[in-house]
């Protein structure tokens, strides 16, 4: 978010410098202030959207076929048969062992060695590995969901907002009683213009004198 904001701010500055606005410093400063306020508001909305998305991810949910495809693919690759429903006693024992003795890594794709399967508790092995596969596959779905949604929201709040709403913001904020003050020449530029006009008058007078001679 910060990188996009910084890039858009620099881009707007370059655009202003290469237009007629560059001759009116007060107007340039006002335009840049309006743009900065828009970007600050966009940044805040992006962070709010990110917090909301994180909050929604507290609930495990997806209708994406990508999840089921990933689970099936890993099951087939690792030769894992999805677990049948265990008895209450087996389920309690499995959850206890997972809680106390197992660490489930959902950041990397599961890699299992068949020779390491504990022969004394095959049900536990299948349950732990199946759970690891499902968590890893769900993590992939969440990662893709974050990448797409945040990128779309940032695009909507920065480039698209500027292209669709900046003109309206400038009209609402600039076209008023103070607009002519913003268009006024800076003091140093007005002085240079006055000196140039006086030089032109003196040059014309000198030319007239030369013609009479």
Asked whether residue 3 carries a pLDDT value surpassing 70, the answer given is: yes
Q: What is residue 97's predicted lDDT score, i.e. its pLDDT?
A: 52
Q: What is residue 148's predicted lDDT score, i.e. its pLDDT?
A: 92
Are 12 and 32 within 8 A, CB to CB? Answer: yes
CA distance 39 to 44: 9
Taking only the tens place, the pLDDT of each residue in 166-184 is 888 888 888 765 776 766 6
Are 133 and 75 within 8 A, CB to CB? Answer: yes
* Dihedral (CA of 69, 71, 72, 77) sign: positive
Q: What is residue 94's predicted lDDT score, i.e. its pLDDT?
A: 47
Query: How high is the mean pLDDT of the chain?
Result: 77
CA distance 135 to 141: 10
Asked whether residue 13 carries a pLDDT value surpassing 70, the answer given is: yes
Are 114 and 121 within 8 A, CB to CB? Answer: no
Selected residue with higher pLDDT from 95 and 17: 17
- What the block records as the tokens of 121 is 């508790």
Average of per-residue pLDDT across 67-88: 70
Taking only the tens place, the pLDDT of each residue in 141-173 is 898 898 899 999 999 999 998 888 888 888 888
CA distance 145 to 56: 12
Average of per-residue pLDDT across 205-213: 82
Of the pLDDT bands very low, low, confident and very high (cuts 50, 70, 90), residue 81 is low
Q: Kindly tell me the burial class for residue 81, based on how many C-beta atoms sit within 10 Å of its own C-beta (0-12, 13-18, 19 or more).
A: exposed
pTM assigned to the model: 0.62
Average of per-residue pLDDT across 81-90: 56
Of the pLDDT bands very low, low, confident and very high (cuts 50, 70, 90), residue 116 is very low
């Amino acid at each position: 978010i910060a990188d996009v904001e910084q890039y858009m701010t620099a881009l707007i500055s370059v655009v202003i410098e290469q237009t007629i606005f560059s001759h009116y410093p007060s107007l340039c400063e006002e335009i840049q202030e309006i743009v900065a306020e828009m970007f600050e508001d966009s940044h805040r909305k992006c962070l709010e959207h990110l917090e909301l998305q994180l909050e929604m991810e507290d609930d495990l949910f997806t209708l994406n076929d990508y999840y089921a495809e990933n689970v099936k693919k890993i099951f087939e690759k690792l030769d894992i048969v999805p677990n049948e429903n265990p008895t209450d006693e087996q389920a309690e024992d499995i959850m206890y062992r997972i809680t106390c003795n197992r660490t489930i890594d959902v950041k990397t794709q599961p890699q299992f060695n068949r020779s390491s399967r504990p022969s004394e508790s095959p049900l536990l092995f299948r349950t732990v590995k199946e759970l690891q596969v499902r968590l890893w596959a769900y993590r992939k779905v969440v990662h893709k969901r974050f990448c797409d949604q945040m990128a779309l929201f940032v695009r909507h709040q920065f480039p698209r907002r500027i292209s669709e709403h900046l003109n309206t913001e400038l009209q609402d904020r600039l076209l008023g009683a103070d607009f002519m003050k913003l268009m006024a020449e800076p003091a140093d530029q007005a002085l240079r213009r006055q000196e140039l006009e006086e030089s032109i008058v003196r040059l014309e007078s000198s030319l007239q004198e030369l013609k009479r001679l």
